[in-house]
């Protein structure tokens, strides 16, 4: 008996009892349906995994936080500023760092129970401002800009685009000084909080 596929007179479609040597339509549809249903079933777990993996990148950053910086008895009564580190928790995407230095501030007792806080970061280029006790003012070592005790520029031709950044959120809680610490963009005249 001769095979149907080798007989040129018999079609190879399978309608006449002849067997086809190629894939059947029903087999193709079954495989296609299996691939589509498998992809749909896999899409859910993949989406949840991507959402969980990328969630730290979607989080909005907190502009600042209140931190305990010092106690009132640590400040000189004569109003001389002192530099204090700001210790807080810092989150970097997926990693949480507990109690690390995030910056520094100058604190100054301006009246009984009233404290002024200034950022140590120079608004010009981000250098760390120091206090010159002999001159009684702040000085930036990078470009020699000078600021008075309130953080105002003393030279009208200063390279600093603005006065030192005062931190508005200062609270006295008992004998502790808490500061709402924020960093600001450098090199611009406006005081803009860095995110």
| CATH, residue 141 | 2.102.10.10
The total domain count for the chain is 2
Show which of 59, 80, 109 is a domain's final residue. 59
Q: What does the pLDDT average to over 163-186?
A: 90
The answer to whether 143 and 134 are in contact (CB under 8 A) is: no
* Averaged pLDDT of the chain: 82
121, 85: one domain: yes
Full residue range of the structural domain in which residue 99 is found: 65-181
Greater pLDDT, 183 or 21: 183
My answer on whether 44 and 85 are in the same domain is no
Q: How many residues does the chain have?
A: 195
49 and 104 together in one domain: no
- Do 97 and 145 belong together in one domain? yes
Residue 84 has pLDDT above 90, yes or no: yes
Kindly provide the residue ranges of all beta strands, DSSP E only, lying in 129-169, ordered along the sequence: 130-132, 137-139, 146-147
Q: Confidence band (pLDDT; 50, 70, 90) for 18?
A: low
Task: Please give the pLDDT value at position 118.
Answer: 94
Residues with Cβ within 8 Å of residue 180, at least 6 apart in sequence:
64, 65, 66, 167, 168, 169, 170, 171
Residue 190 lies in a domain: no
pLDDT higher than 90, residue 40: no
pLDDT of residue 157: 82
Q: What average pLDDT does the segment 156-163 reach?
A: 86
Sort residue 166 into left (φ over 0), alpha (ψ -120 to 50) or beta. Answer: beta
Handedness of CA 133, 135, 139, 143 (dihedral sign): negative
Is 191 contained in some domain? no
pLDDT tens readout for residues 108-150: 998 888 899 999 999 998 899 999 999 999 999 988 889 999 9
More confident residue, 171 or 5: 171
- 167 and 96, same domain (yes or no): yes
Using the predicted structure, report yes or no on whether residue 22 has a pLDDT greater than 90: no
């Amino acid at each position: 008996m001769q095979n149907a596929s080798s007989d040129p007179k018999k079609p190879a479609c399978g309608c006449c009892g002849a067997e086809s040597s190629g894939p059947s339509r029903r087999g193709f549809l079954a495989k296609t349906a299996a691939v589509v249903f498998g992809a749909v079933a896999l899409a859910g777990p993949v989406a949840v995994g991507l959402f969980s993996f990328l969630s730290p990148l979607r989080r909005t950053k907190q502009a600042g936080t209140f931190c305990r910086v010092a106690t009132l008895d640590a400040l000189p009564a004569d109003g001389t500023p002192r530099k204090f580190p700001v210790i807080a928790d810092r989150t970097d995407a997926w990693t949480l760092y507990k109690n690390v230095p995030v910056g520094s501030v100058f604190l100054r007792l301006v009246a009984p129970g009233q404290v002024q806080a200034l950022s140590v970061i120079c608004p010009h280029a981000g250098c760390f401002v120091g206090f010159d006790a002999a001159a009684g003012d702040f000085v930036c070592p990078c470009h020699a800009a000078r600021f008075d005790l309130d953080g105002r520029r003393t030279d009208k031709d200063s390279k600093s685009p603005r006065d030192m950044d005062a931190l508005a959120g200062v609270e006295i809680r008992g004998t502790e000084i808490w500061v709402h610490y924020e960093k600001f963009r450098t090199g611009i005249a406006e005081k803009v909080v860095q995110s």
